[in-house]
Amino acid sequence: MNHTAGITRRAFARLLGTAGALGVIEPQLVGMALAENKRSLNYLAHRTVGAEGAWELKKIEGKVPRNLNGTLIRTAPGQKETFGTPLQHLFDGDAYLSKLTFREGKVSLQSRFLDTPQRIEEQQMKRMLYTEVGTLAPPLPDGYKLKTRGKNQPSVNIIQWDGRYLGLSEGGPPVEIDPTTLAYKSEWNFYGTLPGDVPFTAHPKFDPATGEGYAYGIKRGMGLSLTVFRMQKDGKLKQLYSLPQPQYFMVHDMLLSKDHIIFVIPPVWVNISQAMGGKVAPFQALKFGDDMPTKIIILRKDGEGKPIIINQPANMVFHNGNAYEQDGKLHFDSILSPDGSVLKTVGSFDADQPVKTTPNHLTRVVIDLAKGELVSRTELEAEVEFPRFDERRGGAEARYLYTAGFVGRTDENSIVRHDLLRRTNKQVSPGKGRTYAEPVFVPHPGKNSEELGWLLTLGYDGAQDQTFLEIRDAATLEFQARVWTGIHYPLGFHGNFYAQA
């Protein structure tokens, strides 16, 4: 008898995942059944987490370098349903934190959901109360009033700054997280210097020469403006610019060169009246303007002078690489898509057949700073995402860039090492039935060469239904170690490594 008759593949996948997490059936059987269920690796790698806890990781292939000492801290949307309500968007779900600690060749994992006030409220009520990025909440019980104005999910990135962990979302201020327990502490406004109507970016950038950071947000309410800050060493923000904007644009990332802050702003904007109407989730109110320009905005880091603004054809952009200045010209790398199809792809994450994404391109852009004009645009590689480099070279020329490749075809997922000087690439696959997340570059202790380092990459194995951490040599991509976590948890988007003090 077929006990799955009348159940959708989506619901069957949820049932199996829950059974595996509870230990009702073996993870290997879960993996095989999920594979037979025809769900994509991308779906399986980002679905609801299997467990929370803290433990030493004993199952290791190869050897973890003994001089790799520190912490890889990551955040991710942790679930894909809330008390029976399916979450439809890749960005939906309460923040789930994972901290991998490396000590003398040993690795331990600490992981948990972040207990925000909104998560606690939903857990107590045993129902979805708050609308997510891409999923409307069901109607509230009669007479019930929410305790807060909405969810601020720090599920996109996490940084260490001013002696604290800050979880970042773009939907509001950062969230301070206890570095030992990973518990929620409070929203953080940089000692009162982040205005209440300016959400904080998930991608601040840091100047290795000064130790200062740079960040931004789109001011809400009347007078929309791109508001740019310097993150000073005393932990406070100093506002550098407030640039009026005609729409509430989606600005996900930025770049830093030696003297400049660079934004590549796609023609993606929020229909505010639609978003405020309460009939659609925020991401459903996003619009891609095919007939609108992509704007390159270049600002001085000292806050002086007028912006350089250059219009380009409509492109979607989530992430950028590095930027540097040479002979009066600004060089930077962005990952550009020719249309807005990726927005529909992440928005149809929970569908049995998600919308296919038009291939993007890692693109080198060169600007003449004196003339304020585009010199050239060169496509370097197709179908890559999550660019990382040796951040000690931030704002100076970095020869190597690392990405997760072939994101649109997860069965052929890879890590790509881009040699930007020779314009050559090297790539490595995780193997059949596996997929990679963002590669994070970690330099060898005491070494300055960007050739000398490791790539730390989370991955997911569909057959074992298990998340792993892979360590590869940054120069050769040669395998060094694979550390099995013993559980499945979502790969998420971003994280950072902090060396042992």
Q: Are residues 150 and 32 in the same domain?
A: no
Q: Are residues 23 and 141 in the same domain?
A: no
Q: Round to whole Å and give the CA distance between 193 and 135.
A: 32
pLDDT at 501: 52
- Which letter does DSSP use for residue 452 in this model? S
The region that residue 339 occupies, defined by phi over 0 for left and psi between -120 and 50 for alpha, beta otherwise, is: beta
More confident position, 26 or 469: 469
Task: Give how far Cα 396 sits from Cα of 391, 392, 450, Å.
Answer: 10, 9, 12
Q: Are residues 159 and 12 in the same domain?
A: no
Q: Are residues 26 and 136 in the same domain?
A: no
Specify the DSSP element, H or E, that contains 117.
helix 117-125
Q: Is the pLDDT of residue 294 over 60?
A: yes
Give the pLDDT band (50/70/90) at residue 32: very low
pLDDT at 130: 97
**Per-residue tokens: 495:** 């994280």
Q: Round to whole Å and give the CA distance between 168 and 148.
A: 18
Q: Round to whole Å and give the CA distance between 488 and 55.
A: 14
**Per-residue tokens: 405:** 């490749």
| Numbers of helices and strands, H then E, in the chain | 6, 35
Q: Round to whole Å and give the CA distance between 75 and 492.
A: 6
Burial class of residue 432 in the structure, from the number of CB atoms within 10 Å of its CB (0-12 exposed, 13-18 middle, 19+ buried): exposed
Q: For 201-215, 366-380, 408-422, which range has the lowest pLDDT when averaged over its residues?
A: 408-422
pLDDT at 25: 41
Q: For 15-24, 184-193, 264-273, which range has the lowest pLDDT when averaged over its residues?
A: 15-24
Q: Residue range 106-125: average pLDDT? A: 98
Q: Is the pLDDT of residue 394 over 50?
A: yes
**Per-residue tokens: 98:** 């994972």
3-state secondary structure 229-259: EEECCCCCEEEEEEEECCCEECCCCCEECCC
- Which letter does DSSP use for residue 286 in this model? E
Q: Are residues 28 and 151 in the same domain?
A: no
Q: Are residues 197 and 83 in the same domain?
A: yes
* In the block, residue with structure tokens 């490595």: 428
Q: Are residues 280 and 138 in the same domain?
A: yes
pLDDT at 38: 52
Enumerate the β-bridge partners of residue 90: none
- Check if the beta carbon of residue 485 is closer than 8 Å to that of residue 57: yes
Q: Is the pLDDT of residue 23 over 70?
A: no
Task: Give how far Cα 373 sits from Cα of 256, 263, 310, 363, 370, Å.
Answer: 18, 15, 7, 17, 8
**Per-residue tokens: 302:** 């000292």
Q: Residue range 127-138: average pLDDT? A: 96
Q: For 40-44, 180-184, 350-354, 477-481, which range has the lowest pLDDT when averaged over its residues?
A: 350-354
Give the pLDDT band (50/70/90) at residue 27: very low
Q: Is the pLDDT of residue 407 over 60?
A: no
Question: Which of 500, 497, 356 lies closest to 438, judged by CA?
Answer: 497
Residue 145 neighbours by CB under 8 Å, 6+ apart: none
The gap from C-alpha 198 to its chain's centroid, in whole angstroms, comes to 20
Q: Residue range 85-92: average pLDDT? A: 94
Question: Which of 425, 352, 339 lies closest to 384, judged by CA?
Answer: 425
Q: Residue range 73-100: average pLDDT? A: 96
pLDDT at 412: 60
Q: Are residues 397 and 292 in the same domain?
A: yes
- CATH label of the domain that carries residue 440: 2.130.10
pLDDT at 36: 43
Report the side by side order of strands in the sheet with 205-206: 205-206, 213-219, 225-231, 237-244
More confident position, 13 or 130: 130
pLDDT tens per residue across span 427-450:
999 999 999 999 999 999 999 999
Query: Residues of the chain with pLDDT > 90: what percent?
Result: 83
Q: Round to whole Å and give the CA distance between 250 and 269.
A: 6
Q: Are residues 9 and 136 in the same domain?
A: no
Q: Are residues 321 and 457 in the same domain?
A: yes
Q: Round to whole Å and give the CA distance between 300 and 261.
A: 6
Average pLDDT value for the chain: 91
Q: How many domains does the chain have?
A: 2
Q: Residue range 311-337: average pLDDT? A: 98
Query: Residues of the chain with pLDDT > 70: what percent?
Result: 91
* In the block, residue with structure tokens 């149809």: 348
Q: Are residues 336 and 261 in the same domain?
A: yes
Give the pLDDT band (50/70/90) at residue 492: very high
- Which letter does DSSP use for residue 313 in this model? -
Buried b (16+ CB within 10 A) or exposed e, 26-44: ebeebbbbbeeeebbbbbb
- Which letter does DSSP use for residue 392 in this model? G
Q: For 74-88, 276-290, 305-319, 481-495, which range has the lowest pLDDT when averaged over its residues?
A: 276-290
Q: Are residues 207 and 179 in the same domain?
A: yes
3-state helix, strand, coil in the chain (%, to 5): 10, 40, 45
Q: Which domain holds residue 409?
A: 40-499
Give the pLDDT band (50/70/90) at residue 347: confident
